[in-house]
A and B are shown apart, each in its own frame.
Chain A
Amino acid sequence: MNEPAWADRRPGEALFVVESVSFAYEHEKNQVLRDVSLRLHPGRFYGLIGPNGCGKTTLVDLLSGCKEAATGTIFLDGRRIGAIGKRQLARRLALAPQEFDVGFGFTVEETVMMGRHPHIGRFQAAGPDDWAKARAAMAALGILDLAARSVGSLSGGQKQRVIVARALAQDTPALFLDEATANLDVRHALHIFNIVRRLTKEGRMALAVAHDLNLAAAFCDYLFCLKDGRLVAAGEPSAVLTAEIIREVFAAEAAVAWNAYSGALQVSYRYFADNYSGHCSGNCSPLA
Chain B
Amino acid sequence: MERMAHPAGGGRVMVIGAVLACLLILTIIISAGMGFVRIHPVDILRIIASSLSGNAEFSAHIEKTASYVLMDVRLPRILTAALVGAGLAVAGVVYQGILLNPLADPYTLGISSGAAFGASLALLINITALGQVSTPLFAFVGAVATLFVVMRLSSFHGQISAQTLILAGVIIGAVLSAGISLLKYLADEQVGVIVFWLMGSFAASAWPGVPPLAVGVAAGAAIAFFYGRDLNIMSLGRRSSDTLGVETAKIRVILLVTASLVTALCVAVSGVIGFIGLIIPHLMRFLVGPDNRGLIVASALAGAALLLAADTITRAALPVEVPIGVLTALIGGPFFALIFRRKLKARTYE
Instruction: Report B212 CB to chain A, min CB distance, Å.
Output: 28
Compute how far the CA of A147 lies from the CA of B245 in the bound complex, rounded to whole angstroms: 23
**Which of B6, B101, B240 has the most C-beta atoms of chain A within 10 angstroms of its own C-beta?**
B240
Q: Which of B2, B7, B238, B349 contacts A132 (CB 8 A)?
A: B2
With A90-B243, A99-B237, A105-B290 as contacts: A110 and B350 at CB distance below 8 Å? no
Compute how far the CA of A103 lies from the CA of B282 in the bound complex, rounded to whole angstroms: 13
A229: Cβ under 8 A from any B Cβ: no
User: Across the two chains, which residue of chain B brings its CB closest to A125?
Assistant: B10
B18: Cβ under 8 A from any A Cβ: no
Compute how far the CA of A107 lies from the CA of B244 in the bound complex, rounded to whole angstroms: 18
B: number of interface residues (CB 8 Å): 37
User: Across the two chains, which residue of chain A brings its CB closest to B227?
Assistant: A122
Instruction: Report A21 CB to chain B, min CB distance, Å.
Output: 18
Q: Which of B100, B232, B243, B247 contacts A106 (CB 8 A)?
A: B232
Instruction: Report B234 CB to chain A, min CB distance, Å.
Output: 9
Q: Which of B226, B235, B243, B347 contacts A94 (CB 8 A)?
A: B243
With A101-B235, A105-B290 as contacts: A114 and B244 at CB distance below 8 Å? yes
Instruction: Report A13 CB to chain B, min CB distance, Å.
Output: 24
Compute how far the CA of A158 lies from the CA of B97 in the bound complex, rounded to whole angstroms: 24
B242: Cβ under 8 A from any A Cβ: yes
Chain B residues with CB under 8 Å of chain A are 2-3, 5-8, 10, 96-97, 100-102, 157, 226, 229, 232-233, 235-240, 242-247, 285, 289-291, 347-350
Compute how far the CA of A95 lies from the CA of B238 in the bound complex, rounded to whole angstroms: 12
- A65 touching B291 by the CB < 8 A rule? no
Compute how far the CA of A166 lies from the CA of B243 in the bound complex, rounded to whole angstroms: 11
Q: Cβ of B229: which chain A residues have Cβ within 8 Å of it?
A: 117, 122
With A103-B100, A153-B347 as contacts: A89 and B243 at CB distance below 8 Å? yes
- B157 touching A102 by the CB < 8 A rule? no
Please give 8 more A-B residue pairs, beta carbons under 8 A apart, in addition to A103-B101, A105-B349, A117-B246: A64-B243, A94-B243, A114-B236, A117-B233, A117-B245, A147-B5, A148-B7, A150-B350
Instruction: Report A32 CB to chain B, min CB distance, Å.
Output: 14
- A105 touching B245 by the CB < 8 A rule? no
Q: Cβ of B233: which chain A residues have Cβ within 8 Å of it?
A: 114, 117
User: Across the two chains, which residue of chain A brings its CB closest to B158?
Assistant: A26
Instruction: Report B350 CB to chain A, min CB distance, Å.
Output: 3
Instruction: Report B214 CB to chain A, min CB distance, Å.
Output: 24
Instruction: Report B1 CB to chain A, min CB distance, Å.
Output: 8
Q: Cβ of A93: which chain B residues have Cβ within 8 Å of it?
A: 243
Mark out the residues of chain A between 208 and 230 whose CB falls within 8 Å of any chain B CB in the assembled complex.
none
With A110-B291, A117-B229 as contacts: A65 and B243 at CB distance below 8 Å? yes
Mark out the residues of chain A between 81 and 101 whose CB falls within 8 Å of any chain B CB in the assembled complex.
86-91, 93-95, 97, 99-101
Instruction: Report B79 CB to chain A, min CB distance, Å.
Output: 30
- A104 touching B348 by the CB < 8 A rule? no
Q: Cβ of A90: which chain B residues have Cβ within 8 Å of it?
A: 243-245
Mark out the residues of chain A between 120 and 153 whose CB falls within 8 Å of any chain B CB in the assembled complex.
122, 125-126, 128, 131-132, 135, 147-148, 150, 152-153
A35: Cβ under 8 A from any B Cβ: no
Could you list some 14 contacts between A and B, CB below 8 A? A64-B239, A87-B245, A95-B243, A101-B235, A102-B236, A104-B97, A104-B290, A104-B350, A106-B290, A107-B8, A117-B246, A118-B245, A128-B2, A132-B2
A111: Cβ under 8 A from any B Cβ: yes
Q: Which of B3, B7, B348 contacts A131 (CB 8 A)?
A: B3
User: Across the two chains, which residue of chain A brings its CB closest to B242?
Assistant: A66
- B239 touching A61 by the CB < 8 A rule? yes
Compute how far the CA of A93 lies from the CA of B3 in the bound complex, rounded to whole angstroms: 26
A170: Cβ under 8 A from any B Cβ: yes
Compute how far the CA of A240 lies from the CA of B305 in the bound complex, rounded to whole angstroms: 67
Compute how far the CA of A97 lies from the CA of B243 in the bound complex, rounded to whole angstroms: 10
| Total residue contacts A-B, CB cutoff 8 A | 108
- B242 touching A86 by the CB < 8 A rule? yes
Instruction: Report A112 CB to chain B, min CB distance, Å.
Output: 11
Compute how far the CA of A255 lies from the CA of B101 in the bound complex, rounded to whole angstroms: 48
**Which of A117, A128, A131, A170 has the most C-beta atoms of chain B within 10 angstroms of its own C-beta?**
A117
Q: Cβ of B232: which chain A residues have Cβ within 8 Å of it?
A: 106, 110, 114
A115: Cβ under 8 A from any B Cβ: yes
User: Across the two chains, which residue of chain B brings its CB closest to A57?
Assistant: B239
- A115 touching B6 by the CB < 8 A rule? no
Compute how far the CA of A117 lies from the CA of B289 in the bound complex, rounded to whole angstroms: 18
**Which of B8, B10, B239 has the most C-beta atoms of chain A within 10 angstroms of its own C-beta?**
B239
With A64-B243, A101-B237 as contacts: A135 and B348 at CB distance below 8 Å? no
A109: Cβ under 8 A from any B Cβ: yes
- A65 touching B242 by the CB < 8 A rule? yes
Instruction: Report A172 CB to chain B, min CB distance, Å.
Output: 9
- B236 touching A101 by the CB < 8 A rule? yes
Q: Cβ of A125: which chain B residues have Cβ within 8 Å of it?
A: 10
Q: Which of B8, B97, B240, B245 contacts A110 (CB 8 A)?
A: B8
Instruction: Report A101 CB to chain B, min CB distance, Å.
Output: 4
With A102-B350, A107-B7, A117-B233 as contacts: A97 and B2 at CB distance below 8 Å? no
Instruction: Report A88 CB to chain B, min CB distance, Å.
Output: 8
Compute how far the CA of A15 lies from the CA of B205 in the bound complex, rounded to whole angstroms: 63
With A102-B350, A150-B350 as contacts: A95 and B245 at CB distance below 8 Å? no
Instruction: Report B102 CB to chain A, min CB distance, Å.
Output: 7
- B245 touching A91 by the CB < 8 A rule? yes
Q: Cβ of A100: which chain B residues have Cβ within 8 Å of it?
A: 236-237, 239-240
Instruction: Report B348 CB to chain A, min CB distance, Å.
Output: 7
Compute how far the CA of A110 lies from the CA of B3 in the bound complex, rounded to whole angstroms: 12
Instruction: Report A78 CB to chain B, min CB distance, Å.
Output: 20
User: Across the two chains, which residue of chain B brings its CB closest to A66?
Assistant: B242
Instruction: Report A68 CB to chain B, min CB distance, Å.
Output: 11
- B247 touching A86 by the CB < 8 A rule? yes
- A95 touching B240 by the CB < 8 A rule? yes
- B244 touching A118 by the CB < 8 A rule? yes
